[in-house]
């Protein structure tokens, strides 16, 4: 198995989907995403939980199962170093790391970019020829997803492109430009080097 692949068991997916539906029911209606032809908003929250579940395994950090009335603060994980991490899931194989465009976004500030780093998890779909969305959302089968890489907030702001594919503006970075080193060891090594330099 590729070291960047993560297997989610059916039992784990059922728990993730239960949390995803609960989060969807609890969030502020103003934060409901514009539904496309493939997924409704509740399904998007379930797919987001697939990303968070895979990230928890990859990072070795327990998933936060808490349901926050009105929606969460955009922070999915906090590393032992204190670095905050937001997880973005894209069902497309090698799909972009994307965040939604919001009113008030500027070159130096994006309202949906709330963490020190973003981590991309992507699925196996290769639409339109091959789509595995039904399997991804099937709670009775296991799924394999991939850790696509990560990027710090300053790098995302510097590298991002923006486009509207018909569901509102998205800011994005392709996976080819993401850091492929495992996130926690890379941060730990950077911190060790900074401490050694007395910074």
Report the chain (199 residues): mean pLDDT per 10 consecutive residues.
81 96 82 64 91 95 85 84 93 91 82 90 85 89 95 92 89 93 80 52
Indicate yes or no: pTM above 0.75.
yes
The helix/strand/coil state of 30 is helix
Is residue 83 within 8 A of residue 187, CB to CB? The reply is: yes
Is residue 27 within 8 A of residue 48, CB to CB? The reply is: no
Residue ranges of E strands in the chain: 5-8, 77-78, 84-92, 97-100, 117-125, 143-152, 161-164, 169-173
- The predicted pLDDT at position 191 comes to 63
- The predicted pLDDT at position 37 comes to 63
Instruction: Write out the two tokens for 128.
Output: 């339109």
Query: From the centroid of its chain, how far is CA 56?
Result: 11
How far is residue 170's CA from residue 168's CA, in Å, rounded to a whole number? 6
How far is residue 172's CA from residue 165's CA, in Å, rounded to a whole number? 12
- The predicted pLDDT at position 192 comes to 62
How far is residue 193's CA from residue 86's CA, in Å, rounded to a whole number? 24
Instruction: Write out the two tokens for 129.
Output: 């020829």
Residue spans of the domains in the chain: they are 5-196
Q: Which residues pair with 189 in a beta bridge?
A: none
- The predicted pLDDT at position 156 comes to 93
């Amino acid at each position: 198995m590729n070291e960047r692949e993560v297997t989610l068991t059916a039992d784990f997916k059922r728990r993730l989907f239960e949390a995803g539906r609960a989060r969807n029911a609890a969030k502020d209606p103003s934060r409901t995403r514009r539904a496309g032809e493939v997924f409704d908003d509740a399904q998007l929250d379930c797919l987001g939980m697939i990303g968070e579940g895979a990230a928890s395994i990859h990072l070795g950090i327990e998933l936060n199962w808490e349901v926050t009335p009105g929606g969460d603060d955009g922070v999915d994980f906090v590393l032992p170093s204190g670095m905050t991490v937001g997880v973005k899931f894209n069902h497309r194989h090698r799909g972009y790391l994307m965040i939604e465009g919001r009113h008030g976004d500027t070159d130096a500030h994006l309202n949906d970019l709330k963490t020190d780093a973003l981590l991309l998890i992507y699925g196996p779909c290769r639409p339109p020829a091959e789509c595995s969305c039904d399997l991804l959302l099937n709670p009775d089968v296991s799924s394999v997803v991939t850790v696509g890489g990560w990027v710090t907030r300053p790098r995302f702001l510097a590298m991002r492109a923006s486009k509207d594919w018909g569901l509102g503006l998205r800011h994005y970075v392709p996976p080819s430009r993401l850091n492929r080193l495992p996130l926690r060891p890379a941060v730990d090594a950077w911190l060790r080097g900074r401490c050694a330099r007395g910074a």
